[in-house]
Chain A
Amino acid sequence: MTGKAAALGREPGLGGLAIGAVLSVLVLVWVGSDGYRQTLVTAAATYALVALGMYVPYLMAGSLSMAYGAYAGIGGYAVGLLSTKTSLPLVLAWLLGPAAAALVAVLLGLVTRRLSGFFLAAVTLLFGMAFTAFLVDAESVSGGSGGLGNLRELNILGWTPSHYQVVVGSVVVVCVIAFLLDRARLSAWGVIVRTMRDAPRAVEASGVRVPVMNLVALALGAAIAAIGGGLFTYSAGSVTPDTFTLNIVFLAIFMPLIGGGGTPWGAVAGAAIAVELTLNFPAIETSGTLVLALGVLVILLIAPRGVIGYADQLRRRGWALSRRGRDG
């Protein structure tokens, strides 16, 4: 794929962006002024950003950190704190939140640098739980279990975006980050990170310090998840310790697998499917997670490489059939 794109002189990642942009426009048209649909899309964008954050260390570098609820929470509380405790421009929260989340990810990565697999997942899971407990206890900072509410509205040089514009902004941010990650995945940097998953000794022997690159991947992923947390908090108008629980992490693990295709767009597609199945599926209302579990099973049975992988397979088959038809 990399080589072919290069050989054809095409800009890598543009195909994914084009499809993502078209689908996004269709979704935004479907949303319109419907408040419930706007909430659904904001939730999907948040899930997508958490899943995109996890994509970098988990699917590219092969390191399963489960602290992404905490990173999204840091982004969310950055918006909440800046809004309620300071008079600083609120837009700064999307700089400070991701920076703080990246710093925490680096510190946690340093502490857990000798762990991998199950033990890394277990320790980072504990960290996520401890973070939630901290938010409940640190009442003077976080507002305790009631969280932070009555948040200020964004004011960018006198312009305050409407709720629909925030939804559009969320979708645009998801598309831009997925596009940039896709290009980074195909670049030399991406080759190094992806080789770390299967052949870390080769990366080390080539001159890249694997534990340090792992920290960079963790920091990048945490920053992306924090952007999502900030968007969700702003859109909801409040944040509590229960806003970013472990649920979101478990869902985010499955999203790239459902979406598949080995690209960041798979995480985005997976997030859209997860939100549809858990929150908008016309079945028994309280059984969203059960529907998602069944949906994941069905999707992975029919399409082990995820929805995008399956669509790609169909496209290739159709292309081969049409060529055979032309030749015959």
Chain B
Amino acid sequence: MAEDSLLHGRGLIKRYGGVTALDDVSFHLDAGEILGLVGPNGAGKTTLVDLISGAQAATAGELVLRGGKLSGPASRRARAGLGRTFQYPQLALELTVRDNLLLGRAARRHATIWRMAAGAVLGALRPHPPADREAVEALAGELGLDGLDRLAGDLTLGEQRLVEVGRALGQDPVVMLLDEPFAGSDAQGVLGIAEVIRTVQRRGHAVILVDHNVDLVADLVDRIMLLDRGRVVFDGDPRECLASPQMQVVYFGSPPEAEELDQETGQIGQEAQDVRS
């Protein structure tokens, strides 16, 4: 593990009573990198994202972001540089797209209780500072979001996910955690969100991308981490992951036959992969 990486976690454990959801997980993320987090249901992907973002507390282990310990509630970690989206979009459905995007940008100005109290007074005196308006519109343009005065509750699931990404980008995070951004999207929506993820990377943000769709993730990410029953079973090149025996065991439940393995690399051969898929 690279100690000088942008974000790293060491020995992360999460237990719910007698059930171990994450078992001694360590990982690292470099600046500008997209790390794919894949695995079947119950592998611990969302739990890991929740531990990183502070939505849940780890039973043990430590997280370090830019050399500083990452701890405390989710709000503190967000201010330290984490932005995230959720498996099920968390939007204020009765507010407009514009307002939902504004949340990400406005939150940083309301970090302490005094700033929160002052925010009420300043908001009453000057509800719409032009800088906020312009920033939200620029962000929406970058993401291809139009109809900013529509209510978030009237959007398709794919559009809601885009708004969540936009809201998180408004925080100008160092690391973006995208939890199953493709879930529930049609083919067109998947392409749109994939393009947005590339945009996020172009902006220089590091990304942890969680999804079931391994092929799609492999196309987008620099590195893949495969989780199974709370443990990391593969961490490396996406193409190697797809062809790895670990992948076969995790998704198909049986190790590859000897004749399916490539003699030189020790990984499952393309022909065998085609047959299995």
Contact = CB atoms under 8 A, between A and B. Distances in A.
Interface in B82-117: 82-84, 86, 90-96, 98-100, 102-111, 113, 116-117
Contacts of B110: 188-189, 192, 207-208, 213
B123 A4 contact: no
Contacts of A181: 124
Contacts of A194: 92, 94-95, 99
Interface string A149-180: 00000000000000000000000000000001
Interface in A188-220: 188-192, 194-195, 197-199, 201-210, 212-213, 215-216, 219-220
Given A190-B123, A205-B74, A199 B133 contact: no
B113 A191 contact: no
A186 interface: yes
A189 B106 contact: yes
A4 B90 contact: no
Contacts of B53: 205
Contacts, number: 153
B94 A198 contact: yes
Nearest to B164: A202
A129 B104 CA distance: 40
Contact of A13 (B55, B104, B117, B127): B127
A202 B93 contact: no
Contacts of A189: 106, 110, 116, 119-120, 122-123
Contacts of A197: 92
Contacts of B236: none
A187 B123 contact: yes
Contact of A208 (B95, B107, B148, B164): B107
A183 B124 contact: yes
Contact of A205 (B78, B105, B124, B127): B78
A212 B116 contact: yes
B116 A191 contact: no
A192 B96 contact: no
A6 to B, nearest CB: 5
A248 interface: no
A184 interface: yes
A2 interface: yes
Contacts of B82: 205
A181 B121 CA distance: 9
A259 to B, nearest CB: 17
A180 to B, nearest CB: 4
A189 to B, nearest CB: 4
Given A12-B127, A183-B127, A206-B78, A192 B149 contact: no
Interface residues of A, number: 40
B262 interface: no
- Most A Cβ at <10 Å: residue of B75, B78, B164: B75
Contacts of B128: 2, 5-6, 12, 186-187
Interface string A243-254: 000000000000
A2 B96 contact: yes
A184 to B, nearest CB: 4
A226 to B, nearest CB: 16
Nearest to B81: A207
A203 B107 contact: yes
Contacts of B129: 188
Interface string A115-137: 00000000000000000000000
Contacts of A203: 103, 107
B79 interface: yes
A3 B101 CA distance: 12
Contact of B103 (A5, A13, A195): A195
A207 B90 contact: no
A184 B124 CA distance: 4
B106 A198 contact: no
B51 to A, nearest CB: 13
A191 B103 contact: yes
Interface in A1-19: 1-6, 12-13
A208 B117 CA distance: 12
Contacts of B74: 201, 204-205
B103 A184 contact: no
Nearest to B106: A188
A192 B120 contact: no
A202 B123 contact: no
A202 B75 CA distance: 10
B132 interface: yes
- Most B Cβ at <10 Å: residue of A3, A184, A188, A190: A188
B92 A201 contact: no
- Most B Cβ at <10 Å: residue of A2, A3, A194, A198: A3
Q: Which 6 A-B pairs have the closest CB atoms?
A: A187-B123, A188-B106, A189-B123, A206-B107, A189-B119, A207-B78
29 contacts: A2-B99, A3-B98, A3-B149, A186-B128, A188-B102, A188-B103, A188-B109, A188-B123, A189-B106, A189-B119, A189-B120, A189-B123, A191-B100, A192-B106, A192-B119, A194-B92, A194-B94, A195-B95, A195-B100, A197-B92, A198-B91, A201-B90, A202-B86, A203-B107, A206-B78, A206-B107, A207-B171, A208-B110, A216-B117
